Amino acid sequence: MRVFLTSDSKAARYALRQILEDQGHRVDEPSDFGAGTLLASTDALADAVIAVLLAAHPPLQRRAAVLVEIGVAVGRSIPTLIISRPGLQLSSLAGIPSMEAGLEDLATLDLKVDLFLEGVRDGAPRNPPKFAHSRDLPMSRASMAQFSGLELEARVGRLLQAAGSNLVESSPSRRSGPDFAMYLPGHEIDVGLILVEVKGVRQSADSKRRLREAAAQLSSQVLTARAALGLLLYDGLPVKLPTTPLVVAMSIDELTAQLENSALPVILRTARNRAIHEM
């Protein structure tokens, strides 16, 4: 995959270039073409753009160039990911997929970049469905009714997206992993990366056993990925399960009910804290 990398920080540029090349991608940078030239050209179209804004006090000219390159990418409908330092507020970039990160945890940065590019490669929607309610507010019963008739995994994915999350579904070549990786823009630090597994057990003869096995597998995946939490969502009535390290199991109906009164970041922080304390 051809990735255009632009950054306001030399250290971040070196780190991200190494990650992308290790993942097997071709990397182009502004210095190769002149700022904005690659994206504005018709014969050198990038498959994706990654813009890194990690410098605390970047040169104004460099920051302005990055913002121009982001604008060109969005204008040409090129999938774009913004990686910014925690607390950086850029209202002009609202609505563009983004994550907060630092260079102290390259493994997590590697995983998130890989998930983003995997979504691009697999043809994931460039702009998630938009819903009328605010992502910062609890969802209403009416807004959730639209998901009830969807296939289970799709229903859960759309529910999580509508509640404010960014997620990428695993590709067929990586189906041994969880169904989704998920994070909430603006909450990468306090909530973190969450792996989501969806299980249909309503018709199962031994739903508790199936959920125990799924929780154990998800726990291993969370530890391997260095994620913050594993969220196991299933259909049917709530099931009491043994504690599994860094995994919270919840029925879909239970999550739906909680979303009526609480925003998703609050629910996930509470679930993560419970999972840690019960270890």
Per-residue pLDDT tens digits for 15-71? 999 999 999 999 988 776 554 444 444 345 788 999 988 888 887 777 777 877 787
CA 30 to CA 144: how far, in whole Å?
Answer: 44
Question: Within a domain: residue 31?
Answer: yes
Decide if 129 is inside a domain. Answer: no
Residues 97 and 147 in one domain: no
* Highest mean pLDDT (candidates 107-111, 193-197, 199-203, 213-217): 213-217
Residue identified by tokens 């050209």 is 41
Q: How confident is the model at residue 128, as a pLDDT? A: 39
**In terms of DSSP H, where are the helices of the chain?**
10-22, 30-33, 37-40, 60-75, 106-121, 141-145, 152-162, 207-225, 252-259, 264-277
Please say whether the beta carbons of 50 and 16 come within 8 A. yes
Same domain, 150 and 267: yes
The CATH number of the domain holding residue 100 is 3.40.50.2300
Residue 126 included in any domain: no
Q: What is the pLDDT of residues 209-231, one digit of tens each?
A: 999 999 999 998 888 776 778 99
**Domain shared by 86 and 162, yes or no:** no
Distance CA 124, CA 169 (A): 8
pTM value > 0.95: no
In this prediction, residues 74-81 reach a mean pLDDT of 79
Reported as type and span, the H/E element at residue 43 is none
Q: Is there a single domain that holds both residue 158 and residue 209?
A: yes
225 lies in a domain?
yes
Share of the chain above pLDDT 90, in %: 15
User: Where residue 146 falls among pLDDT bands split at 50, 70, 90?
Assistant: low
pLDDT of 233 over the 70 cut: yes
The per-residue pLDDT for 256 is 87
Task: Provide the residue range defining the domain that includes 88.
Answer: 2-106
Residue 133 lies in a domain: no
One domain for residues 98 and 150? no
| Domain shared by 152 and 273, yes or no | yes
